[in-house]
């Protein structure tokens, strides 16, 4: 069984080395739509894969980090990176280029890391990320699956290498959330009072 939750954000970037001249040499933005698809082979006590309300917590916060932010590849020109940090309060530094393909891998990876660090409270089953689709425009999207996440050619992803600006962190519900994630501290979903015996 699959469920799908849609997220939206506005983000600015340059995609170095790409074929399109406008994309590779000019800062520009997109209105992104992200589809997070979760999979489970059993349902929780609410007979759901994973309550949509739970996705409004840490996962929404981490995806929202990219909203009204500029994203840059850590391999980019040092002067460009410095300018991004100097003139934008909200930025995200990435170990890979901010293409739609890499965004889909990064969102898959971050959502999966949060899920495995979350103690569920309502009989949830083997909930995991099945796929992430990132729509960069109305007509173009990239979609990642589990085999894309640890693909060395696509670039290895580590929590330590995805860096959020202080302003981004300050706007999280829990500003220490990402530090806790990196330290392996578990997050706990709210407890649930069952109204009907299961």
Residues designated catalytic: 23, 68, 136
Give me 2's structure tokens: 């699959």
Give the residue closest to Zn ion by C-beta.
23
Secondary structure of 88-134 as H, E, C letters: CCCEEEECCCCCHHHHHHHHHHHHHHHHHCEECCCCCCCCEEEEEEE
Q: Which stretch binds Zn ion (CB under 5 A): 16-24, 55-63, 84-92, 182-190?
A: 16-24
DSSP class per residue in 12-59:
EE--TT-S-HHHHHS-EEEEEEEEEEEE-SS--TTSSSS-GGGGGSHH
Residue with Cβ nearer Zn ion (23 or 154): 23
Q: Which stretch binds Zn ion (CB under 5 A): 15-23, 80-88, 149-157, 189-197?
A: 15-23
CA atoms within 13 A on the CB side of 158: 5
Query: Rounded to the nearest whole angstrom, what is the least distance from the CB of residue 136 to Zn ion in the complex?
Result: 6
Contact map string, positions 18 to 57, toward Zn ion, x by CB under 5 A: -----x----------------------------------
Residue with Cβ nearer Zn ion (31 or 183): 31
Q: Rule CB under 5 A: which residues touch Zn ion?
A: 23
């Amino acid at each position: 069984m699959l469920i799908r939750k849609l997220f939206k954000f506005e983000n600015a970037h340059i995609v170095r080395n790409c074929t399109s001249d406008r994309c590779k040499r000019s800062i520009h933005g997109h209105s992104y739509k992200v589809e997070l698809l979760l999979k489970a082979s059993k349902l929780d006590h609410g007979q759901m894969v994973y309550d949509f309300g739970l996705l409004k917590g840490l996962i929404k916060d981490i995806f929202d980090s990219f909203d009204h932010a500029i994203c840059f590849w850590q391999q980019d020109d040092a002067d460009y990176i410095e300018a991004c940090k100097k003139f934008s309060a909200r930025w995200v530094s990435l170990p890979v280029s901010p293409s739609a393909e890499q965004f889909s891998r990064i969102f898959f990876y971050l959502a999966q890391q949060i899920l495995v660090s979350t103690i569920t409270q309502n009989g949830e089953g083997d909930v995991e990320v099945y796929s992430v689709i990132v729509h960069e425009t109305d007509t173009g999207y990239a979609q990642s699956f589990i085999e894309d996440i640890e693909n060395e050619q696509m670039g290895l992803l580590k929590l330590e290498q995805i860096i959020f600006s202080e302003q981004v962190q300050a706007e999280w519900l829990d500003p220490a959330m990402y530090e806790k994630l990196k330290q392996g501290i578990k997050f706990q979903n709210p407890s649930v009072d069952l109204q009907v015996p299961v």
